[in-house]
Amino acid sequence: MKKLFLIVSVVILGVLSLTGCSKGDFDDLIVYTITASLDEATRTVSAEMSVDYYNDTQSELTEICFHLYGNAYREGGKSPISQTDISSAYPDGLSYGSMTVCDVTADGAKAEFNVDENDVLTVKIPALMPTRRTIIKMKFELVLAEIRHRLGYYSGKYNLGNWYPVVCAYRDGAWVKHPYYSNGDPFDSVVANYNIKFTYPSSLTAASTGGEGQNGTLDVSVKGVRDFAIVIGDFNKKSVIEGDTTITWYSEGSDDYTKVAKDALSTYNKMFGEYPYPTLAVVKTAFLNGGMEYPGLVYVSDALNDEMITEVVAHEIAHQWWYGVVGNDQVNHAWMDEGLTEYSTTLFYEKNPSYGVEKEARIADSLTTYILYCELYKDSGKSLTVMDKCVGDYPTNLEYTYMTYVKGQIMFDSIRSLIGDDAFFNGLKTYYKENMYKVATKADMIGAFEKHTDYRLTSYVECWVDGSALMFAVK
């Protein structure tokens, strides 16, 4: 996600309030097959889903867990909207949604299931050994809240991010059952294959992770993606081709940001490694703040000015590499996601000087705001500078933003200064190539840089992320 923030507002207002497949091998993955339809009148998606689950854990499983993110929008739910975002998320007043499941089966037999207070669905299954498969089927119904958020309806646009029951990650011998926190992008999903058939009003346009719908039906199959998102609306569109990828800009207006998207894709293709998917949808839609990334599809808020749209497009497209193809634990190590993506956005400007934004100015801005943040809150305790923290443990979205985007960007620039441009950029290429379609760890990232430098970086990086060193000199 791209958060917009101004340190000025802080001062004035005082707001503080694995495992995985190798490249091209998509056989041993979960396969989602979903047939769904959207009813405009009730803003309801009715669906049948079959999940062909591959047990790539080291454990014998007797249950499989799913996030029902859509249920977090219910009345009384653990809302993904922070108090400070309520007015921008619900401009027309509070609205609620829900997600319910029924008719759950495991390998053809009726299965026991329950949904806990964190909107995690647990389905009991016959014992499943590692490397074996089982098929879970269920029906689900999703009612969309009227909200400018990842999942919801607002002003003619349907945002369908995290719209189906998503299999939880399984790590260290247990299912990872984080609730839908309001801070950050609290998702922890594995790459999977998708077969989607989704019907919607034929007068509208549907953009998705797997390409575009035709005449009211989105009928696509896509392999090796970390999520599957759809946005539906009365959009105009403009397409350009970059390399092997068709980029399409969707907007209700006549604006056109295909050049930015093309420049971003081209820059990152050269700098990190090739984007592996045939399509990329950039959709200007109803979103409360900045933008949001999904594989092959990004949201850009319809509330942004021209300058911010350019930055958000560059930022969200960088997420195709960091989050999308190379996954990470966005809940506990969000700096690996947002810090590297924010720095990649800075690299976009550095490599494309015609946009008139200097790399040095962006780093200087980050340093200035970070120093001010430390000054303002230095008496609040050391934990205020900890980057490695569960997003749900940050007391405010502001602290999360400073520890992931701002301090993260400064840290990556510091690593670059320390090891030099050749080692840094070769390290990023190695990080991408060696971790495609996986969930990368901090050690994977450090190891990629260390392959190109004699510096041992573990302690250096740890000092940044554990908050034990407030600031390092940056060139």
Can you give the binding site for Zn ion, defined by CB under 5 A? Answer: 1-2, 338, 341
CB of 2 to Zn ion, least distance (A): 5
| Nearer to Zn ion among residue 3 and residue 148 (C-beta) | 3
Do 98 and 126 form a contact (C-beta atoms < 8 A)? no
CB of 386 to Zn ion, least distance (A): 19
By DSSP bridging, strand 245-251 and strand 279-285 are parallel
CB of 312 to Zn ion, least distance (A): 9
Give the C-alpha separation, 113 to 117, whole Å.
14
Do 107 and 35 form a contact (C-beta atoms < 8 A)? no
DSSP state, 172?
Answer: T
Q: For the chain, how many residues are written?
A: 475
CB of 388 to Zn ion, least distance (A): 18
| Nearer to Zn ion among residue 320 and residue 341 (C-beta) | 341
Q: Of 367, 343, 372, 317, which is closest to residue 12 (Cα–Cα)?
A: 372
CB of 391 to Zn ion, least distance (A): 13
Give the C-alpha separation, 372 to 363, whole Å.
14
CB of 289 to Zn ion, least distance (A): 11
| Nearer to Zn ion among residue 34 and residue 229 (C-beta) | 229
Do 109 and 134 form a contact (C-beta atoms < 8 A)? no
Taken in order 441, 444, 445, 450, is the CA torsion positive or negative? positive
| Nearer to Zn ion among residue 106 and residue 318 (C-beta) | 318
| Nearer to Zn ion among residue 104 and residue 283 (C-beta) | 283
CB of 315 to Zn ion, least distance (A): 6
| Nearer to Zn ion among residue 338 and residue 413 (C-beta) | 338
Q: Of 324, 450, 464, 458, which is closest to residue 388 (Cα–Cα)?
A: 464
With vertex at residue 196, the alpha carbon angle to CA 195 and CA 197, rounded to the nearest 5 degrees, is: 130
Q: Which residue shows structure tokens 């740890």?
A: 462
The dihedrals phi and psi of 452, each to the nearest 5 degrees, come to -120, 10
The dihedrals phi and psi of 72, each to the nearest 5 degrees, come to -70, -20
| Cα 345 to Cα 283, 314, 341, 405, distances in angstroms | 18, 6, 6, 11
Give the C-alpha separation, 47 to 236, whole Å.
28
| Nearer to Zn ion among residue 55 and residue 183 (C-beta) | 183
CB of 409 to Zn ion, least distance (A): 11
| Nearer to Zn ion among residue 55 and residue 341 (C-beta) | 341
